[in-house]
Amino acid sequence: MNGMPQRCTSRSTPRPLRRAVTIVTVPLLLAGGGLVGGGGVFAGAAVAAERQPAPGAERADVWLARESFVMGTLLRLEVAAPTRAAAAEASEHALAAVHRLDGLLSTWDGSAEMARLNAASAGSSAAVSAALLALLLEAEVWSKRTGRAFEPAVGPLIDAWELRGEGRVPDGAALRAALRAVRAGVTLDAAAGTLTRNDPAGWIDTGAFGKGAALAAAADALRTAGVADAVLDFGGQIMALGRPADGGGWRVPVAHPRHRHQAVGELLLRDVSAATSGASERFIEVDGQRYGHLLDPRTGQPVPAWGSVTVVAADPLAADALSTALFVLGPRAGMAWARDREDVAVLFLEDTPRGLVPHWNPAMERWLTRTIQTERTLR
């Protein structure tokens, strides 16, 4: 059984945890892109905290916990290796990978490659590094597959709504101009290795896939360093590698879309990433009205706060991009998109006047450890 993927359905209970080393594991809480209350696998673990194997432990790994503030959010990782030095070195490689990706993808730091390309003159092609080009092409694939519900070229709409400032409701003309600029987008020429902005107002926003891209790079760095077991929490997106010290899988509670401190379900993850998108966490407020930070690129409007969607996929970039896309699509169209996909597990939590209504596709059955608790069962 050990080494086998966990197969838990919403009806079954997870198998008992295997004893390995003595640690207290407080679960992570996936909540619209955030960890709740500072708890989590890492609760009580100081930066670079170390856990020594218990006497007689089956596995002699040392677990090392690290934290770093990067990409505007907190990255926490916990890594197992045969020695403390090996765990420290592997975690260094993972952190370096994330910082490297930030240097490629940041649209906040003017010296990052993406920020420089976003400022390049429109209409002329600019050289783009192979590493950034590969990520942009990956993002483009998910954008096409989701009918552009996930749209990296959403920048002009971010500006129109002033999502990076005080917030504003654009008038009709401003909205139409922004939509035109989004549709004009950028042209990626893979053969020539260039990017061309097709509208002076156009720019790429990496906010909806950058953390996922960085998690993919960090996971690769860890694997290359020989690490089989690790967990990373990057601003609420989880990358689970192998298993925790006590075996089984990584337990990741799913939060209520509005009451973020309330867990309504739990995932048991191995060798996959989980990302959640919702509208309760980040928003602007104009004239007493709240507008979420996720925009529908087809209409230019902020997506209403209908609930949240959690996506589990092997590729963290896909999980990140798809949680955004499926939040934009909403539970109906989103479920129609995801229903028959085996590689993408989705859990929609629809916040209705009658209470929380969960929907998940068959692929999600593998990761859910128990039935989602609705309002009725929670009270």
Q: Which stretch binds ligand ADP (CB under 6 A): 115-123, 146-154, 329-337, 356-364?
A: 146-154
Q: Is 277 in the site for ligand ADP (CB under 6 A)?
A: yes
Helix/strand/coil for 274:
strand
* 368 backbone dihedrals φ, ψ, rounded to 5°: -75, 130
**Distance (Å, whole) CA 230 – CA 240:** 6
Nearest Cα residue to 214 out of 88, 77, 78: 77
Structure tokens given for 58: 């089956």
Torsion of CA 3, 33, 76, 63, to 10 degrees: -20
Q: Is 320 in the site for Mg ion (CB under 5 A)?
A: yes
Q: Which stretch binds Mg ion (CB under 5 A): 189-197, 214-222, 312-320, 328-336?
A: 312-320
Report the DSSP beta bridge partners of residue 358. Answer: 349
The single residue among 132, 158, 241, 364 that binds ligand ADP, judged by CB under 6 A, is: 158
- Summarize the chain as % helix, strand, coil (round to 5): 30, 25, 45
**Distance (Å, whole) CA 225 – CA 6:** 25
The single residue among 67, 138, 199, 205 that binds ligand ADP, judged by CB under 6 A, is: 205
Q: Which stretch binds Mg ion (CB under 5 A): 82-90, 163-171, 201-209, 341-349?
A: 201-209
Size of the site for Mg ion (CB under 5 A): 4
Of 143 and 369, the one with the shorter C-beta distance to ligand ADP is 143
Of 20 and 217, the one with the shorter C-beta distance to ligand ADP is 217
The single residue among 30, 62, 208, 303 that binds Mg ion, judged by CB under 5 A, is: 208
Question: Which single residue brings its beta carbon nearest to Mg ion?
Answer: 324
**Distance (Å, whole) CA 213 – CA 304:** 26
Radius of gyration of the chain measured on its C-alpha atoms: 21
Q: How many CB atoms lie within 10 A of CB 329?
A: 24
Confirm if 141 and 321 have CB atoms less than 8 A apart: no
Q: Is 138 in the site for Mg ion (CB under 5 A)?
A: no
Smallest distance from ligand ADP to CB 101, Å: 15
Confirm if 10 and 371 have CB atoms less than 8 A apart: yes
Smallest distance from ligand ADP to CB 164, Å: 8
Of 128 and 319, the one with the shorter C-beta distance to Mg ion is 319
The single residue among 42, 63, 142, 150 that binds ligand ADP, judged by CB under 6 A, is: 150
| Residues of this chain that bind ligand ADP (CB under 6 A) | 33, 150-152, 154, 158, 205, 207-208, 277, 282, 293-295, 297, 320, 323-324, 328
Positions that interact with Mg ion (CB under 5 A): 208, 320, 323-324
